[in-house]
A = this chain, B = another copy of it.
Amino acid sequence: MPKRLTLKQVAEVLQVSTATVSNAFNRPDQLSANLRESILKRCRELGYHGPSLAARSLRRGESNVIAVMLADSLSYNFSDPVANQFLQGVADILEVHNKQLLLLSSDADSLQQSSAESLPDGIIFYGTPHKEIFERILATGKPAIAVDFEQDRLASVNVDNFSAARQAAEHLFSQGIRHIAVMGLRLVESRRVCRLVEADLHAPSTEISSRRLQGYLAAAEAAGVSLSAEQIWHIPLNKEEVARQAIREALTSQPRPQALLCMSDVIALCAEQQARELGICVPDELKIVGFDDIPQASQAAVPLTTVCQQSREKGRLAAKRLLDGDLSGELLLETRLVVRGSSVQAGSSATSQSIS
């Protein structure tokens, strides 16, 4: 097996100095076009395809790699449609800028050990990372940006979760609905599905889910609708398998809620499916409102009314700001309620209207 060639060896074979070969790759202006061409050509023949990333970034202090630091595990993020949209947006921009993508999880032990965060030239935090790792990275002084959480020491890209959620709830209350259940995502620390207790309502955090809950509550209060802790479920993971249990509980509780306010589309779509299995007709007997506007939301049998939070655009903006060095202040993306399926019939195509 031919051990990878080094620039030095190549230089030797070509009878030029290492500097010249290096320049051929990195600084075309430092040598004649002719020479450069011939060097690159011979390199290709020899099987030398460019400088080693490790050595180059050691020397230059930059790597051309951007990291996304995920709050949860990698595999969880690959399974989550919202995260996927976000990563699509990030990838859109990185591809244009010729940057490579390193996926890191603040959840993983590996980070404690390998300090892989030292490689990338910049870091996008997606969701609230573990404190220790967060501090560690901030201390490096590398460019970084926060997405979906707030951090006074960092620029951020975010949406107004409070207003978005309030709007979603208002949509229901304005239809005269008085009895709802909230399918909440990660509202408390527990790893199992459960309902909230009164105290949970008075411990608002800055986490997006807490914001959304506050938005729901505000809308309820404004509409004079009572919404108590026992009508609010905690779902620890944005996964169908997990959501199902909470939804079953809610849909079989007496009296059955007229509507489900779901903190994600994954939950909402699962609710739709569960309702179908239980023989509950959506939207006649049960209204469902989601959050996120993932692609599947519009394709569902009963197209989902939800809050569009432009996840892909969020990824684009975060990556753009990071690469442009535009690292101050908070950027709030617009959200809008997408009302769907208000007049769907078999044979007619779905309608959807936006309310902004």
Contacts and interface: CB of A to CB of B under 8 A. Distances in A.
Interface of A: 1-4, 47, 49-55, 57-58, 63-65, 73-75, 78-79, 84-85, 87-89, 91-92, 94-95, 98-105, 108-110, 113-116, 118-119, 136, 139-141, 240, 269-270, 273, 276-279, 295-296, 299-301, 346-350
A79 B88 contact: yes
A113 B100 CA distance: 11
A54 B57 contact: yes
A98 B109 contact: yes
Contact of A300 (B98, B277, B301): B301
A279 B301 CA distance: 13
B114 A108 contact: no
A65 B65 CA distance: 13
B75 A92 contact: yes
Contacts of A94: 74
Nearest to A87: B78
Contacts of A91: 73-75, 78
B115 A110 contact: no
Task: Give the one of A49, A136, A270 with max B CB within 10 A.
Answer: A49
A78 B84 CA distance: 5
A4 B141 contact: yes
A297 to B, nearest CB: 12
Count of chain copies: 2
Contact of A47 (B113, B118, B119, B139): B139
Given A74-B91, A276-B346, A277-B348, 4 more contacts: A1-B141, A54-B58, A74-B87, A74-B94
A100 B104 contact: yes
Contacts of A58: 52, 54-55, 58
Contacts of A114: 50, 53, 64, 98, 100
A95 B75 contact: yes
Contact of A95 (B74, B79, B279): B74
A141 B3 CA distance: 7
Contacts of A270: 299
Contact of A2 (B65, B75, B110, B139): B139
A119 B78 CA distance: 23
Nearest 8 A/B pairs, CB to CB = A301-B301, A50-B115, A279-B347, A98-B110, A74-B91, A1-B141, A75-B91, A54-B58
Nearest to A101: B103
Contacts of A50: 113-115, 118
B55 A4 contact: no
A155 B76 CA distance: 28
A105 B95 contact: yes
A300 to B, nearest CB: 7
A103 B103 contact: yes
